[in-house]
Amino acid sequence: MTDADDLERIRRAGHLALDAAGQVLRRAFRTDLRIDDKGGPGAYDPVTEADRAAEQAIRAVLRRETPDIGIFGEEQGHEGPAEGAGTGLWIVDPIDGTRSFMSGFPTWGTLLGLRRGAAMVWGAMDQPVLGERFEGDGRTSRLGNRPLRARPCSKLDDAVLYATTPDMFDEPSWRAFDTLAGRVRLRRFGGDCYAYAMLAFGCIDLVVEAGLSPYDIAPLVPILEGAGATVTTWTGGPAHEGGRIVAAATAELHAAACEVLASAGT
């Protein structure tokens, strides 16, 4: 199998899985859902029956289409071959932005990507209510048939900065973020995975967050990189394992943001 054939097999399986999840989520959105709290004391972490059903739908398709590839999802953990088997590992977040989903806001999405070693070879963010599916392979990205390109913003003074919520930062990280926010043209909160998609689309310039799990960011990496953006941890490490993340429209803007975050003492 050629690399092109392999990527097409991955894309086909991924799209079928997202189609299946989308059917579940469109029916469930803005309805009266049971919401459980899987967090500990003082750490509200909601999960809905739609999260679980969407992940089950994704897993059923991936098991059928790519039985040689393991699956790691937010709600149901790991199944199938270990990543070390060489074929890779599917990374699944059935609803990135469950708080937005349960609040009726459409700034959530389903994240699905394939990791091989330290590389994310394909990823997608699907917003089934809006009918938008962003995907990338690290070299190119698109929304449907439209190619994506991050806009050429290189200066903090010109940048629009997003983060999902101030609550995701501990005190030192918040001080660093707030210092950076004082240097940009505009800062906004909200968006979850949709903010990263808008960076790739060319509408915003920076997303800076903390406390992310691998499934929160890994599928977005090939979309961002395929659109020409730079995404790493705050210290310049690989983003696919999560943690504190900086995504920027250009390498110059990324370097400037990381310099401010480092100088703020983090």
Which domains can be identified in the chain, with CATH numbers? 3-147 (3.30.540.10), 156-263 (3.40.190.80)
Shortest CA distance to 133 belongs to which of 234, 64, 219? 219
**What's the confidence (pLDDT) of residue 2?**
64
Q: What is the pLDDT of residues 13-30, one digit of tens each?
A: 999 999 999 999 999 999
Length of the chain: 266
Give pTM, 2 decimals.
Answer: 0.95
pLDDT classification of 36: cutoffs 50, 70, 90: confident
Strands (E), 150-218: 160-163, 186-189, 206-212
Q: What is the pLDDT of residues 196-214, one digit of tens each?
A: 999 999 999 999 999 999 9
Helix, strand, or coil here: 214? helix
Helix, strand, or coil here: 111? strand
Residue 53 has pLDDT above 60, yes or no: yes
Helices (H) and strands (E) in the chain, counts: 8, 15
Please say whether the beta carbons of 97 and 109 come within 8 A. yes
